[in-house]
């Protein structure tokens, strides 16, 4: 209402100043009215946006500039022509002007509707991406919860995942890998044994040697883990590494019998870290080896079970590390998982459900 009133005042002021007998004079008066209306429209919208905290003046301008530009470029000349025809030819000529005027209005309405649909689609896509991100984090939170549940069920492997993550990260850095791979191998180390959640407690905690059937069940944990992780968006590579972390450099590993470069590089890294920590940790069927004995075993497997360069890199890391690092007692899954927001602990209700 205010915009229309001010536009009328501007039009009458323009007519008084320059006249309204020629089309040019009517067009000038209409332009003055248009500028007044646009100014009120912009300022009122900017004020409302500011009061609601929804948009800055710049954002209001970005939203309105196309509509206001079309108003000035399309409606103002038509309005001037409409007024001039009425003043010079009478009411009967308005029927001929009404058709293009309605067509212009329809065109603008369709354009505005199209922009609205585009904005709605953009907003919907943003909400969908946000929902997918939350779902991905929830899935990884469940993965982390599974590892915690496994550690709680199997006291002999408590802290193993964290130790493997730390050792793998340090091997990758010693090898000069880029930070993306360093973080990826750390994350994968934290969840590399998630598949053991599908192995029976009797097999995990058995204090004597496994028979063939039990050994076959235990060997399936890398496949089970990969099947869990592959369902998480953007974690196909993590799943691939988890599946292959028990492959041997000479091709005698499992589950796929891959060899050398067929094995993902980060899976080869985790294989070294996993084997060392397994040897230096207590197990149901044996006591932990000393770091020196475990190092000799790594050296014996250099070039056959493990890639030689990765063993050498890990030995350099161990050589300058403390005794507590060498036996893995500095490892804490909760602290390590804090480095990856997607592994953040799920809500208490979810933790209770998983447990």
Considering the domain architecture, whether residues 96 and 182 belong to the same structural domain is answered as no
pLDDT above 60 (res 355):
no
For residues 23-50, average pLDDT: 76
The residue ranges of DSSP E strands in the chain, in sequence order, are: none
Considering the domain architecture, whether residues 289 and 154 belong to the same structural domain is answered as yes
For residues 90-106, average pLDDT: 66
Q: Which of 286, 280, 283 is nearest to 323 (CA)?
A: 280
For residues 123-140, average pLDDT: 59
pLDDT above 50 (res 42):
yes
Considering the domain architecture, whether residues 33 and 147 belong to the same structural domain is answered as no
In a domain, 121, yes or no: no
Q: Is the dihedral of CA 215, 218, 224, 225 positive or negative?
A: negative
- Specify the number of domains making up the chain: 2
Considering the domain architecture, whether residues 182 and 297 belong to the same structural domain is answered as yes
Considering the domain architecture, whether residues 136 and 176 belong to the same structural domain is answered as yes
Decide if 270 contacts 168 (C-beta within 8 A): yes
Considering the domain architecture, whether residues 38 and 135 belong to the same structural domain is answered as no
Decide if 204 contacts 196 (C-beta within 8 A): yes
Considering the domain architecture, whether residues 110 and 149 belong to the same structural domain is answered as no
pLDDT band at 317 (very low <50, low <70, confident <90, very high): very high
Q: What pLDDT, on the 0 to 100 scale, is given for residue 180?
A: 92
Higher-confidence position of 81 and 296 = 296
- What is the tens place of the pLDDT at every residue in 52-65? 766 677 777 777 77
Write out the two tokens for 20. Answer: 């309204």
Considering the domain architecture, whether residues 201 and 230 belong to the same structural domain is answered as yes
- What is the tens place of the pLDDT at every residue in 175-211? 999 999 999 999 898 888 888 877 887 787 777 778 8
Q: What pLDDT, on the 0 to 100 scale, is given for residue 349?
A: 35
- What is the tens place of the pLDDT at every residue in 288-312? 889 999 999 999 999 999 999 999 9
Write out the two tokens for 48. Answer: 């409302």
Write out the two tokens for 157. Answer: 């492997």
Pick the last residue of a domain from 55, 87, 116: 116
Q: Which of 351, 224, 354, 209 is nearest to 285 (CA)?
A: 209
In a domain, 122, yes or no: no
**Cα of 117 vs its chain's centroid, Å:** 25
Q: Which of 110, 243, 262 is nearest to 188 (CA)?
A: 243
Q: What pLDDT, on the 0 to 100 scale, is given for residue 145?
A: 63
Q: Domain holding 210: CATH number?
A: 1.10.3210.10
Higher-confidence position of 248 and 46 = 248
Question: Mean pLDDT across the chain, nearest whole number?
Answer: 77
Distance of CA 326 to CAs 162, 236, 276, 295, Å?
13, 31, 9, 10
Contacts of 26 (CB under 8 A, 6+ apart): 20, 80, 83, 84, 87
In a domain, 126, yes or no: no
> Which residue matches tokens 């161990």?
318
CA atoms within 13 A on the CB side of 262: 15
Q: What pLDDT, on the 0 to 100 scale, is given for residue 131?
A: 52
Enclosing domain of residue 94: 2-116
């Amino acid at each position: 209402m205010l915009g229309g009133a001010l536009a009328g005042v501007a039009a009458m002021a323009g007519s008084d100043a320059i006249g309204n007998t020629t089309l040019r004079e009517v067009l000038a008066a209409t332009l003055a009215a248009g500028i007044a209306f646009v100014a009120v429209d912009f300022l009122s919208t900017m004020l409302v946006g500011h009061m609601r905290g929804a948009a800055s003046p710049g954002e209001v301008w970005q939203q309105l500039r196309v509509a206001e530009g079309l108003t000035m470029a399309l409606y103002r000349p038509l309005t001037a022509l409409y007024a001039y025809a009425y003043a010079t030819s009478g009411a009967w000529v308005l029927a001929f002007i009404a058709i293009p005027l309605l067509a212009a209005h329809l065109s603008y309405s369709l354009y505005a509707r199209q922009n609205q649909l585009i904005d709605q689609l953009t907003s919907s896509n943003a909400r969908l991406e946000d929902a997918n991100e939350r779902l991905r984090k929830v899935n990884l939170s469940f993965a982390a919860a599974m590892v915690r549940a496994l550690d709680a069920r199997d006291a002999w492997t408590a802290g193993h995942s964290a130790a493997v993550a730390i050792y793998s990260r340090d091997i990758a850095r010693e090898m000069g890998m880029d930070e993306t791979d360093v973080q990826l191998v750390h994350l994968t180390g934290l969840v590399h044994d998630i598949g053991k959640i599908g192995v029976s407690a009797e097999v995990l905690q058995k204090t004597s040697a496994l028979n063939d059937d039990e050994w076959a069940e235990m060997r399936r944990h890398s496949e089970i883990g990969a099947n869990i992780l592959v369902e998480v968006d953007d974690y196909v590579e993590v799943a691939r590494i988890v599946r292959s972390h028990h492959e041997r450099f000479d091709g005698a590993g499992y589950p796929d019998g891959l060899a050398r470069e067929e094995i993902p590089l980060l899976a080869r890294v985790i294989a070294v870290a996993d084997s060392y920590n397994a040897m230096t940790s207590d197990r149901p069927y044996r006591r932990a080896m000393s770091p020196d004995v475990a190092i000799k075993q790594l050296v014996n497997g250099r070039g056959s079970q493990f890639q030689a360069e990765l063993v050498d890199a890990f030995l350099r890391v161990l050589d300058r590390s403390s005794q507590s690092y060498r036996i893995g007692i500095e490892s804490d899954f909760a602290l390590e998982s804090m480095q990856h927001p997607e592994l953040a602990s799920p809500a208490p209700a979810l933790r209770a459900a998983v447990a």
